A and B are shown apart, each in its own frame.
Chain A
Amino acid sequence: MADTRDLGRELRRFGKFLRSEARPRGKLLTPFNVISIPVILLGIGILVVRFTKGLGSVTNLSQEFPWGFWIGFDVVTGVAFAGGAYAITFAVYVMKLEKYHPIVRPAVLSGLLAYVFYAGALVLDLGRPWHIINPIIGNSFGYNSVLFLVSWHFMLYMLAELVEFSPVIAEWAGWRRLRRILGALTVGTVIFGVTLSSLHQSGLGALFLMAKSKIHPLWYSEFIPIFFLVSSIFAGLSMIIVEGTISHRVFKDQIDPAKHHSFEDIILGLGKGAAISLFVYYFFKLLTFIHDRHWKLLTDGWGIWYLVEILGFVLLPCVLFAYGVRNRSVGTVRVAAVMALVGIVLNRLNTSVIAYNWTAAVRYFPSWQEIVVTLMVIFTEIWVFRWIVLRMPVLREAHELPTRRTTAGNPVPSAIA
């Protein structure tokens, strides 16, 4: 009886707390807001048209190009960028590399949001999204489909990342006992999450195995799944470097100044990991290139485009990462990270859109509406990221219960057991 009364009181407290937290903080007219709000509103308008008049009304998709920018960039590239979460949780919770502990929370949060928003963008592209439950509830399981596997692993991984992030939510809400229970789940969840990640990162590549007759031979390989998996490691690490650098500027007041130095150390460590995985990736690419005897394909425009991707945005960032790490130049590592990300965008778009159906008479180029909706998805994700970072102990010191800005002057109940 007392328990239920406690629960009721706690829920009321949490409701009040949530209302106070929901209020916007900080200035409204920041440059980011001024740009992002109109884009988000325009994007919503475009989506209304898309769901009433069909995909053809706002996209340049065609019978020759069934997958365009929303799949090629939002989903296929976005998920590769989100690979940082599994790489970092692997390093910290499996390999016990404590050095990287401070970046686990932002990495997991951005991974979680990336999956929710970028894998979620898949729904915008589905022609009959109300049937999305079919492969989930089991009335029609296409076991033999790679996409079946990828979609299940997306869902399960989102759940795993939510569990990984849940201690932060529990700390924020002041639920101590729940925090302990959720914290205990972390290692198991991480192992599960790394497994799921390795399967769906490679699964995204496996989607293109049956497009053998359509993808330019320089980008098609039976090893696409392995390419996608290995490249998701440096994609994720580079994303953490870039994102972390920006976060550290934007959310300065969230971070203990003493930690700035250790963050640079972390960036150099990540750069080392990225250099190694980039080299492994480059080496694999080279092996298959030689094995498939593709030399004579290098002579035309496609060959040059391939060399731009491989030499300019795989080998060069690999060298820059190695140089930056060796000379402890954080700036070089940051430049290398940006270049590696460009390389990932190139590779994913080449595979799914640009070198796909490369013999088609009419090429696909995204419509402005497709680009606006993509920007809308990215901006909305940043809004949610900012909302969470400003409220929950993501970047700031976390592990003791924080002295919260209390709700409407009420002291936080000290014992919510």
Chain B
Amino acid sequence: MNRRGFLKLAGVAGAAAAARPASAAPASSPDSPEFWGVLVDTTRCIGCRACERSCSIAHDLPVPDIENDDLLEHERTTSDRQWMVVNRFETSKGEVFVKKQCMHCWQPACTAACLTNAMHKTRKGPVIWHPDKCMGCRFCMVSCPFEIPKFEYNSWNPKIQKCNMCFERLEDDKKPACVESCPTDALMFGRKRDLMEIARVRIYNHPDKYVHKIYGEHEVGGTGWLYLAAVPFEELGFRTDLGTTPYPEFTRDFLYGVPLVLFGLPALLLGLSLLAERDSES
């Protein structure tokens, strides 16, 4: 092989090697092992509540009257008729609007609680609910640290209602309805790795504008939805005392102990029983 031949070969091999990562993992591959999420920049939100409207339309729920600002007088929470709400908070830096919905935890308490796998963390990240599996025990509601799953108490055939991050739209390579309807780019859809970088860049570029914390980075082991804010998150109705341990960890030790007890205890009891027999004979 002469020199030119070698260079040609090396060039082809190099090009192939360089091309591989790009072709193997396109940005929105359905096989992507990374979870998707949404970055909420509360400094950009103007409280128009277009997201509330588009959410209701996308999921056949009663459409709220977004012209009526009286609803913002009191802090609201999601309900069995509304998967997400925007709240207004009076803070040290003026009024701030915060969108509230399911956080789509990386290791959700609700899915660990569910005994029928009706609550399910999908490959892309949304936590969704299967009506044909759920038996309505409401253990997911007891377990969720954000109190997101809501139950239809006034139906003979009740459903659990919660944000599903527009799971069905994601399947069609579309963004969640709320993100698409946001006029100020307060909502940004993407993979958590990318969203974290964007959030950090914003804090780095505007260190005086933001508090130096990204809510959801570590909370309960990390969540799919991330929040940036200008004021401490306590002022915006966030629970900052939830810790960084993923909630399923709280039951893990107990569940690991079960097989040990299930096989160990009978052996012990059998031994005791034989021992007691010996005793009563002598």
Shortest distance between the CB of B213 and any CB in chain A (Å): 19
Known contacts A96-B279, A199-B258: does B273 contact A54 (CB below 8 Å)? no
Per the bound structure, the CA–CA distance linking A63 and B160 in Å amounts to 11
Q: Is the CB of A213 within 8 A of B156?
A: no
Chain B residue at minimal CB-CB distance from A210: B143
B153 contact from A61, A95, A131, A194, Cβ within 8 A: A61
Q: Which of B80, B141, B143, B145 has the most C-beta atoms of chain A within 10 angstroms of its own C-beta?
A: B143
Shortest distance between the CB of B194 and any CB in chain A (Å): 29
Segment of A101-109, A132-140, A296-304, A394-402 engaged in the interface with chain B: A132-140
Q: Is the CB of B138 within 8 A of A206?
A: no
Q: Is the CB of B133 within 8 A of A140?
A: yes
Per the bound structure, the CA–CA distance linking A413 and B109 in Å amounts to 60
A94 at the B interface (CB under 8 A): yes
B142 contact from A67, A140, A191, Cβ within 8 A: A67
| B-side contacts of A57, CB under 8 Å | 154
A403 at the B interface (CB under 8 A): no
B91 at the A interface (CB under 8 A): no
Per the bound structure, the CA–CA distance linking A141 and B273 in Å amounts to 35
B182 at the A interface (CB under 8 A): no
Q: Is the interface of A mostly helix, strand, loop or mixed?
A: helix
Chain B contact-residue range equals: 35 or more
A202 contact from B133, B156, B247, B254, Cβ within 8 A: B254
Shortest distance between the CB of B136 and any CB in chain A (Å): 2
Per the bound structure, the CA–CA distance linking A146 and B158 in Å amounts to 23
Shortest distance between the CB of B272 and any CB in chain A (Å): 5
Chain B residue at minimal CB-CB distance from A215: B142
Q: Is the CB of B258 within 8 A of A149?
A: yes
| B-side contacts of A131, CB under 8 Å | 116, 132-136
Q: A42-62 toward B: CB 8 Å interface, digit per residue (1/0)?
A: 000000000111111101011
Chain A residue at minimal CB-CB distance from B139: A147
Known contacts A131-B116, A140-B116, A148-B115: does B276 contact A96 (CB below 8 Å)? yes
B250 at the A interface (CB under 8 A): yes
Segment of B19-27, B28-36, B164-172, B260-268 engaged in the interface with chain A: B260-268
Q: Is the CB of B251 within 8 A of A198?
A: no
Q: How many residues of A contact B (CB 8 A)?
A: 61
Q: Is the CB of B156 within 8 A of A191?
A: no
Shortest distance between the CB of B85 and any CB in chain A (Å): 13
Q: A82-96 toward B: CB 8 Å interface, digit per residue (1/0)?
A: 000000001001111
Q: Is the CB of B136 within 8 A of A127?
A: yes
Known contacts A64-B147, A134-B133, A142-B114: does B158 contact A55 (CB below 8 Å)? yes
Q: Is the CB of A134 within 8 A of B265?
A: no
| B-side contacts of A203, CB under 8 Å | 254
Chain A residue at minimal CB-CB distance from B281: A96
| A-side contacts of B250, CB under 8 Å | 209-210, 212, 222
B265 contact from A64, A98, A142, A195, Cβ within 8 A: A195
Per the bound structure, the CA–CA distance linking A191 and B250 in Å amounts to 29
Shortest distance between the CB of B273 and any CB in chain A (Å): 5
A129 at the B interface (CB under 8 A): yes
B152 at the A interface (CB under 8 A): yes
Per the bound structure, the CA–CA distance linking A228 and B67 in Å amounts to 52
Chain B residue at minimal CB-CB distance from A51: B156
Q: Is the CB of B141 within 8 A of A126?
A: no
A382 at the B interface (CB under 8 A): no
Chain A residue at minimal CB-CB distance from B280: A96
Q: Which of B115, B154, B156 has the most C-beta atoms of chain A within 10 angstroms of its own C-beta?
A: B115
Per the bound structure, the CA–CA distance linking A202 and B225 in Å amounts to 34
Q: Is the CB of B261 within 8 A of A56?
A: no
B239 at the A interface (CB under 8 A): yes
| A-side contacts of B141, CB under 8 Å | 63, 66
| B-side contacts of A93, CB under 8 Å | 273
Shortest distance between the CB of B76 and any CB in chain A (Å): 12
Contacting residues of chain B (137-189) with chain A, CB-CB under 8 angstroms: 137-139, 141-143, 145, 147, 150-158
Chain B residue at minimal CB-CB distance from A139: B133
Shortest distance between the CB of A154 and any CB in chain B (Å): 12
| A-side contacts of B142, CB under 8 Å | 66-67, 207-208, 210-211, 214
A95 contact from B114, B139, B258, B272, Cβ within 8 A: B272
Q: Is the CB of A94 within 8 A of B273?
A: yes
| B-side contacts of A64, CB under 8 Å | 147
Q: Is the CB of A198 within 8 A of B154?
A: no
B1 at the A interface (CB under 8 A): no
Per the bound structure, the CA–CA distance linking A377 and B151 in Å amounts to 25
Other A-B pairs, 8, CB within 8 Å; known A54-B155, A63-B80, A192-B266: A67-B142, A127-B136, A129-B136, A145-B112, A149-B258, A210-B112, A212-B247, A213-B242
Q: Could you show 21 A-B contacts with beta carbons less than 8 Å apart?
A: A54-B158, A57-B154, A61-B153, A63-B141, A66-B138, A67-B138, A94-B273, A95-B272, A96-B276, A127-B138, A127-B152, A129-B135, A134-B135, A142-B116, A144-B248, A146-B113, A195-B262, A195-B269, A198-B265, A213-B239, A213-B242
**B residues near A, CB below 8 A?**
77, 79-80, 109, 111-118, 132-139, 141-143, 145, 147, 150-158, 239, 241-242, 247-248, 250-251, 254-255, 258, 261-262, 265-266, 269-270, 272-273, 276-277, 279-280
**A residues near B, CB below 8 A?**
51-57, 59, 61-64, 66-67, 90, 93-96, 98, 122, 125-129, 131-132, 134-135, 139-142, 144-149, 151, 187, 191-192, 194-195, 198-199, 202-203, 206-214, 222, 225
